[in-house]
Each structure stands twice: as C-alpha cells, then as structure tokens.
Structure 1
C-alpha cells in the first residue's frame, strides 16, 4: 500500500523527545516490515491541539489521499502525532476516513474505522486519546510550576535571555549570567546615553566600533533603546 508519512513536533519544542528523526525511523521500519511503501513525507511544527487548517503539512498529506493512487493512507509514528487533544484527533481521523484513506501508526498498526457493531473499538481509541491529552497537560503543568518556582526565587525563569546575558548553570540552577562580548556594548550604550547622545547616534557608533547586536547585522535606534531601558531598570 502507498502511504504518506506525517510527522509532527510541538512548535514550542518537543516535550517528550519524540522528534522528527525518531518518528521517521519508526515509520520506515514499520512500513518495510509490513510491505508498505512511503511515497511522501510531510511535517508540521505545531502544538497537538492545532486544527487541520493550521497544519500545512497535514493538508498536503490529505491532498495526496484525495488523489489515489498517489496515496491510500497516512502513517504516523504514534497516534498522538495526529493530535494530543482528543477532539482534534477524532476530527482528523474522521476527515481521513471520509476521503477514503486509511490511518496507520508505527506503534500499533492500523487505526480501524468506527464500527457501530463494535463500540468498544471507538471507546478504547478515545480513552488512549484522553490519556495522551492528560500526559501533555501534566508535562506542561510541571514545566510551568518549575518556571514559577524559579521566578519566585528571583532567577530568570524562561524565554530568551536579555542582551548582555546568557544562560549559565544546569537544570533548576540555570539562570542568567553576564555575556562578556555583549556587556561591552551595554556599557558603551550607558556611557553614550550619559553623554546625552541619541539612540540613533549610539547605533551608528556601536556599528563603527564593531560592537554587534545579537541577531541583526547592525544596530537600530529601537534596539539600542531596548537595551538602554532594560539596563536602566536593572541598575
């Protein structure tokens, strides 16, 4: 059978370590062992609760199923790669089945369509979906609680570290520490502001002196202002 592979990771970073490479290996291993051919692969980096319309990769996979013999079904590593929110999972399954396609997972084989004479089939699948959703929410809560505890302790909790700092330490002890190459620019900004220079003039001066912003090729007045305001607030 011709199958299209669908891989998904969270846009916020894969929480369970089941990334693209692992999913791909599982799918290819299962397809080879069961005599199926992977004819295409599509990926999305979105949360498991995103609707179909927000998943360009999934939409492309569905388009292939609509054009047999391009593909006769879709395969995922695990069912929660379709979705970790039960209602989204069920909606995607119904959509694939309505298009005449079949759904497989490298973990459990074919996800059989609902059968009114076998309600237990649907119930078991939906219970598995409930626990997948619970697992995701539990992990998210644990991370959120950890960030909150870290913030309460006065340490940098989450997100990108401000210009002039970077992450130091490991695990729960990780916090913002000075980044020396950027600290030179922070000090120069403070000096020039104290001398009454405008943000635009400071930007030009920093570029001329080879003091680089973190991501852009050159400084802008706004980026200088952001660093200056943050430094003044921390002083």
Structure 2
C-alpha cells in the first residue's frame, strides 16, 4: 500500500535539528515492517502544532495531492506531530475521515478507530499534548520575565508591522489573501512588486503565513 509521510517541527531553529531525521526514521521503519511504500515526504517547517490545517503550507499541499493521485494514507511519527491543540487535532481527523483518508501514527495504533474508547484515548493524548505545549510557553515566558528583572531587558524581536511602513505591507498581504491567493503566490507577487522583508530578503510563503496568522516572527 502506498502512503505519504507528514513531518512537522514548530520552530525555525528545529529545521536543521534532529526532529525531521528522527520522524522520518520512525516512519520509514514502520513502513518497512507494515508493507507500506512511502511515496512522498511532506515537511512542515517552523509551524506550530496549534496552527489550523488551512494555514499549514505542507499540509495544504498534502491534501491537494491526496485528492489528486489516489494515495489515501498518511503516516506520522506520533499524534503531537499532527497537532498540539485538541480542537485542531480533532478537526483534522474528522476532515480526513470525511474524505476517506487514513492516518497512521507510528506511536499510537488504531488512531482513526471510531469506537468510543479509542476516541476517548486519542482525545486524552491530544489534551496532554496541548497541556505540555502550554507548560512550555509558560516556562519560556517565566524565563523571559526573570531575565528582564535581572538585566532590565528581554524584549525580543518586534513583530512585523511594528516599524514605519510595515503596516502598508501587511495591508497588501491581506488584500492578496482576500483575493484567494495562497501564501507562496502572495510571496511571489510581493517579490514581483519589488517589496522586501524587514531584512531586505525576498519573500517566502512561510514568512507570509506567519505574518497573516499572527505567529511570532523570527528574522523577517
């Protein structure tokens, strides 16, 4: 049986780390022992597990491919690679079930089973993942506050739109998005118009995604 692999890391600093190799290794080992052929690997780079599916570039591409090429199975390393928000998790799973797609988690068997016990267990795991995410956020926030008290500063990078002239760019982004353009097409359009990011670099779909969805910017 053919399947696609879906991998995700939430931070840009994790893109070159162990996350992707570890996930891919687990998926390929599972595939080798379960008669699965991994046709394509989709990497979600620097996208939070609390982000809705429609705002995930790799997931959106994966859904388009699933609807087009006949492959109907997705393999992930574990449930929190799909989502760290219970509502996001269940919305994605419900959408997959509605379209007749199958989701296999290497770490959690029978993930898509519809019996009440399996659903309860899956939702409990999702709730734990969401709780762990919240704890990480709180710990980081506490560390920043302690540093600010100790050193008198710890402001971090200002979000896009903070500096003069950036509001106009955001309005242009919103207008293009409202016109039905995807993040990559918006980036290409901004580059064609000669607009630059804060650092003077060309636009990319991931940067557009983060600005429009309100995710924290890192270097754009």
Separation in 1 of the partners of 2:57 and 2:87?
Answer: 19
Separation in 1 of the partners of 2:153 and 2:26?
Answer: 37
Separation in 2 of the partners of 1:22 and 1:103?
Answer: 19
TM (norm. structure 2) is 0.65
Higher normalized contact order (CA 8 Å, seq sep 6+, divided by chain length): 2
Q: Are the equivalent residues in 2 in contact too, given 1:9–1:81 (CA < 8 A)?
A: yes
Alignment partner, residue 62 of structure 1: 63
Alignment partner, residue 125 of structure 1: 122
The 3-state SS of whatever aligns with 2:83 is coil
CA 158–26 in structure 1, closer or farther in 2 if over 3 Å, else same? farther
Runs of 4+ residues over 4 Å off in structure 1: none
Q: Mark the runs of 5 or more structure 1 residues left unpaired by the alignment.
A: 161-214, 218-235
Q: CA deviation at 1:58?
A: 0.6
Alignment partner, residue 176 of structure 2: none
Alignment partner, residue 154 of structure 1: 151
CA 151–26 in structure 1, closer or farther in 2 if over 3 Å, else same? same
Task: Decide which structure has the larger Cα Rg and report it.
Answer: 1
Separation in 1 of the partners of 2:85 and 2:23?
Answer: 19
Q: Mark the runs of 5 or more structure 2 residues left unpaired by the alignment.
A: 158-198, 202-220
The 3-state SS of whatever aligns with 2:120 is helix
The 3-state SS of whatever aligns with 1:39 is strand
Q: Are the equivalent residues in 2 in contact too, given 1:85–1:132 (CA < 8 A)?
A: yes
Q: CA deviation at 1:18?
A: 6.3
Establish whether residue 47 from structure 1 lines up as the match of residue 48 from structure 2: yes
Alignment partner, residue 87 of structure 1: 87
Separation in 2 of the partners of 1:216 and 1:126?
Answer: 44
Q: CA deviation at 1:157?
A: 3.3
Q: How does 1:1-235 map to 2 (within 5 A)?
A: 1-11=1-11, 13-14=13-14, 19-44=19-44, 45-69=46-70, 71-114=71-114, 118-154=115-151, 156-157=153-154, 159=156
The 3-state SS of whatever aligns with 1:30 is helix
CA 109–158 in structure 1, closer or farther in 2 if over 3 Å, else same? farther
TM (norm. structure 1) is 0.61
Q: CA deviation at 1:110?
A: 3.8
Aligned positions, number: 158
Separation in 2 of the partners of 1:142 and 1:52?
Answer: 26
